[in-house]
Homo-oligomer: A and B are copies of this chain.
Amino acid sequence: MSYKRGYVQVYTGNGKGKTTCSLGLALRATGDGNKVHIIQFMKGRRYSEIDAIEFVPGMTIVQCGRDEFVSKEDPEQIDIDLAMDGFEKAKEAVLSGDHDMVILDEINVAMDYNLIDVDEVIDLISRKPSTLELVLTGRYAPQRIIDIADLVTEMKEIKHFYRKGVEARKGIEF
Give A residues with C-beta under 8 Å from B: 1, 3-5, 7, 9, 11-13, 15-17, 19-34, 47-53, 55-57, 133, 146, 149-161, 164, 166, 169-172, 174
A selection of 11 A-B contacts at a CB cut-off of 8 Å is: A5-B166, A25-B172, A27-B52, A28-B47, A28-B171, A28-B174, A29-B48, A29-B171, A31-B52, A32-B52, A156-B156
| Alpha-carbon distance A49/B136, docked complex (angstroms) | 21
A151 touches B155 (CB 8 A): no
In the complex, A47 Cα to B30 Cα: how many Å?
Answer: 12
Q: Write out the residue numbers on chain B whose beta carbons fall within 8 Å of the beta carbon of A161.
A: 7, 150-151
Are the CB atoms of B20 and A48 closer together than 8 Å? no
* CB nearest to A20 among chain B residues: B24
CB <8 Å contact, B133 and A172 = yes
Partner of A24 from the list B15, B19, B51, B158 (CB cut-off 8 Å) is: B19
Which of B15, B28, B149 has a CB less than 8 Å from the CB of A153? B15
**Additional A-B contacts beyond A21-B21, A22-B24 (11; CB < 8 A):** A3-B169, A3-B172, A15-B154, A17-B17, A17-B155, A20-B25, A31-B52, A150-B164, A151-B160, A152-B160, A155-B155
- CA–CA, A174 to B80, complex, Å? 37
Contacts of A22 in B (CB 8 A): 24
Q: Which residues of B contact A158 (CB under 8 A)?
A: 12, 146, 152-154
* B residues less than 8 Å from A174 (CB atoms): 28
